[in-house]
């Protein structure tokens, strides 16, 4: 005794949905993939080349600058006075001849830090760094030991110094972005 069953399934509605997907969604997805691929190729061709050139030319890292100045003036003179964005990496001064008093003021984004009447020794080089004292007050400290600094500035940097009747040189190093 054999059992034969005849099941009739109408696949036409399913086939209609599959055909609709193939007709609309697949070409749309294909077009979107092509568009994305075109955009990626354009980025690779232009932006990466531009970025690579900027890195090679150090435009991204910043431009490191060293400045020096000399004075015997008893009033403040500018060593640096710029409006830019960057990082101050070092400040120093040295007495050429006799010992004497040195005053220095560093203004970063409008906030001034200074030391007054520092008794500098003759023919001695001093590095200037920032130190935090009591109650969080930040002040400048001269030292014969090189202590690196990395003081960021967002709008401006000004370094002024004066020597009360002595021969003094000052120098600064900074990078602008």
- Residues 132-146 have pLDDT tens digits of 766 666 767 788 888
- Please give the tally of structural domains in the chain: 2
Asked if 17 and 82 sit in the same domain, the reply is no
Asked, for residue 38, whether it belongs to a domain, the answer is yes
Asked if 56 and 70 sit in the same domain, the reply is no
The full DSSP string for 96-135 is: SSS-EEEEEEEEETTEEEEEEEEEEPTT-EEEEEEEE-GG
Asked, for residue 150, whether it belongs to a domain, the answer is yes
Parent domain of 75: 63-176
How much is the mean pLDDT over the chain? 80
Check residue 23 and give its pLDDT.
74
Check residue 80 and give its pLDDT.
95
Task: Tell me the three state secondary structure of residue 173.
Answer: strand
Asked if 86 and 21 sit in the same domain, the reply is no
Q: Quick count: other Cβ atoms within 10 Å of Cβ 95?
A: 20
Cα–Cα nearest to 88, from 67, 58, 116: 67
Asked if 150 and 78 sit in the same domain, the reply is yes
Q: Which residues of the chain have pLDDT under 50?
A: 60
Check residue 55 and give its pLDDT.
57
Check residue 83 and give its pLDDT.
95
Asked if 54 and 140 sit in the same domain, the reply is no
Distance CA 47, CA 16 (A): 45
Determine the number of helices (DSSP H) and then strands (DSSP E) in the chain: 2, 10
| Structure-token pair, residue 52 | 């690579």
Asked if 95 and 26 sit in the same domain, the reply is no
């Amino acid at each position: 005794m054999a059992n034969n069953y005849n099941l009739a399934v109408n696949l036409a509605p399913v086939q209609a949905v599959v055909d609709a997907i193939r007709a609309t969604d697949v070409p749309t997805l294909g077009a979107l993939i092509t568009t994305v691929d075109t955009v990626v190729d354009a980025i690779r061709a232009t932006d990466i080349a531009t970025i690579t050139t900027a890195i090679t030319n150090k435009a991204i890292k910043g431009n490191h600058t060293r400045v020096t100045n000399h004075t015997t003036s008893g009033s403040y003179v500018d060593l640096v006075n710029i409006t830019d964005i960057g990082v101050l990496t070092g400040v120093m001064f040295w007495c050429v001849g006799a010992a004497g008093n040195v005053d220095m003021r560093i203004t970063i984004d409008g906030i001034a830090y200074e030391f007054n009447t520092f008794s500098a020794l003759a023919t001695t080089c001093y590095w200037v760094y920032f130190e935090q004292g009591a109650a969080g007050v930040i002040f400048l400290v001269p030292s014969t030991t090189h202590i690196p600094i990395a003081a960021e500035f967002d709008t401006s940097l000004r370094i002024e110094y004066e020597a009360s009747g002595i021969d003094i040189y000052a120098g600064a190093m900074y990078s602008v972005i």
